[in-house]
Structure 1
Amino acid sequence: MRLNKYIRNSGITSRRGADKLIEDGKVKINEIVVTEPFYEVSNSDCVKVEDKKIKQIERFEYYIINKPIGFLSSLSDPFHNQFVSEIVKTDARIYPVGRLDLNSRGLMILTNDGDLAFKISHPNSNITKEYIVKLDKKINNYIAKKFEAGIKIDDKSKVKGRIKEFDPDNFLYSIKIKEGRNRQVRKMFKSVGIKVLDLNRVSIGGLKLGDLKIGHYKKVDRDYILNEVFRD
């Protein structure tokens, strides 16, 4: 089995993350640093990542969760002690597929299946995510059309969003995007002088948050995740 796939199947990271670990010289096979992601690992090899022995996962787990505000999507941070992965009661070392920032809430997928995580999070998957946002003011057709044409954030290429009214009297709108840049939705609105007061992700592809309560989660299977996410 190729080294990057072996690391991915250990559940500690995605294939892209495995490639980065290998490239950075953090992977050893039989105490020798290996920097070739396509190195073939044998059953007798001892593989270590950052000097910790890893092994293949025998059982993958899949969860959908309604992330509360105040929980980090990362696995560790010295300045915070609430992590979304800790909401799920399991012995498996699961991690989020994609992210929601600290002050955002809503639908997330957690798993220890690196292959599935890579498939969903890869830009070529072209998956639409929908958010319900509460803004500090109403928006007009000009702004909606500007979002559809594309807005430049972070001095990079333009990103697009499709806005629909949800409850405009209370400044609530639906926005759908396909990119996944850091704090993208908030930055898009900020670029036109609008502040996002609340952000709730309600769907990833065809996978819906539904009536899952904040802070609750549901265990599902791999086929369910793939069928729903790519039913967009």
Structure 2
Amino acid sequence: MPRLQKILAQAGVASRRHAEELIQAGRVTVNGKVAQLGQSAEFTDQIAVDGKRIQVSEGHKTFLLYKPKGVITTASDEAGRKTVLDLMPVIPGLHPVGRLDRLTEGLLILTTDGDLTLKLTHPRYQHEKEYRIWSEEELTNQDLAHLEDGVELEDGITEPARVIRAPEGLYLTIREGRNRQVRRMMDAIGKPVRRLVRVRLGGMTLRGVKPGEYRQLTQREIEVLMQETCSPRERTRLHEEWDYVKYGFGKRHGRAQMREESPGTAGQDATLTAGRRTNQPPKGRGVKSTESATETRPLSRPRNAERDVRNGTRRKR
């Protein structure tokens, strides 16, 4: 049987410490009787604070939300702006884990579990947060090295980061959680952010959700989320999916779709199918196309494939 202060915290009434203060002040009743500190209760009991009955539910709920641009990460807003809770079902005690600023998109966790919130936000747990950044200006190798080594900000130098170059920007992985840290890091090197999306938190990615959509996580997915990082294979797959949707190169996992034209590809075939172009016959059947690869493919293979060819671990196509 859980302690009363834990039930109050889970219902979103107050933190456990504040709930203890409410109980000591005689403001909490259980089945019509004034509660005592240390008292336990059932989820089926009638629990009230200042005479107002609260809604309690057994078990925690955790959701993954793709926060769209323009929505603020807070429970309520005095200015009447749209918040992340406006996108979610009404559940007592549901709150966002950490923050994404109003202009930043991407992965946000919401939960009723205070212990999970602590494990995901406390600095000692060092969970990775990965962002896809589109920069206003072209990034140099010196800029990337600066981000990797640490950037001097007004609240101290940042910890070393993982940087991977991408079209019109980069992927940046950090373990800290300072306020607007990624934008401030990019401003510090003189390359302001044009668009910013958090694509991964720990071992969990945005796969399967679109902007403004959410889904409830299973216990297995919560375990994956709590991993400090994800496998190199999963990270590569994540990058390939994001770059394919935007630029039309790299592997596409799932349903084929039209790609957007990227600079230098105007007039070339823009239709992709799962694994091959539409103007190419299936493997082992028909006549091979006479068109060259440079005419049908706007961009080269992913970098990892080129590396494997050079190392002799993959047969050149």
2:45 maps to 1:29: no
Alpha-carbon distance change, 146 to 18 in structure 1, aligned in 2, over 3 angstroms: farther
Indicate the percent of aligned positions where both proteins have the same amino acid. 29
Give, in whole Å, the separation in 1 of the partners of 2:205 and 2:39.
Answer: 39
Q: CA deviation at 1:155?
A: 2.7
Alpha-carbon distance change, 28 to 96 in structure 1, aligned in 2, over 3 angstroms: same
Give, in whole Å, the separation in 2 of the partners of 1:90 and 1:55.
Answer: 11
The one-letter code sitting in structure 1 at the alignment partner of 2:199 is V
- 1:1-232 to 2 correspondence within 5 Å? 5=6, 7-11=8-12, 18-19=16-17, 21=18, 27-31=21-25, 40-43=38-41, 48=49, 57-167=57-167, 171-230=168-227, 232=229
1:53-111 CA distance string (max 9 Å, x none): 76754132121111001111111120233111221234444111111100110111111
The one-letter code sitting in structure 2 at the alignment partner of 1:137 is E
Q: CA deviation at 1:47?
A: 8.0
Structure 2: stretches of 5+ with no match in the other structure: 28-36, 230-317
> Which one has the bigger strand percentage?
1
Give, in whole Å, the separation in 2 of the partners of 1:12 and 1:188.
Answer: 37
Alpha-carbon distance change, 115 to 222 in structure 1, aligned in 2, over 3 angstroms: farther
The alignment's TM-score, normalised by the length of structure 2, stands at 0.60
The one-letter code sitting in structure 1 at the alignment partner of 2:117 is A
Q: Which SS does the other structure have where 1:180 is aligned?
A: coil
* RCO comparison, higher one (Cα < 8 Å, 6+): 1
The one-letter code sitting in structure 2 at the alignment partner of 1:223 is R
Decide whether the 8 Å contact of 2:65 with 2:110 is kept in 1: yes
Give, in whole Å, the separation in 2 of the partners of 1:223 and 1:231.
Answer: 15
Which residue number in structure 2 is paired with residue 36 of structure 1? none
The one-letter code sitting in structure 2 at the alignment partner of 1:80 is G
Give, in whole Å, the separation in 2 of the partners of 1:215 and 1:56.
Answer: 27
Q: Which SS does the other structure have where 1:197 is aligned?
A: strand
The one-letter code sitting in structure 2 at the alignment partner of 1:130 is E
Decide whether the 8 Å contact of 1:65 with 1:215 is kept in 2: yes
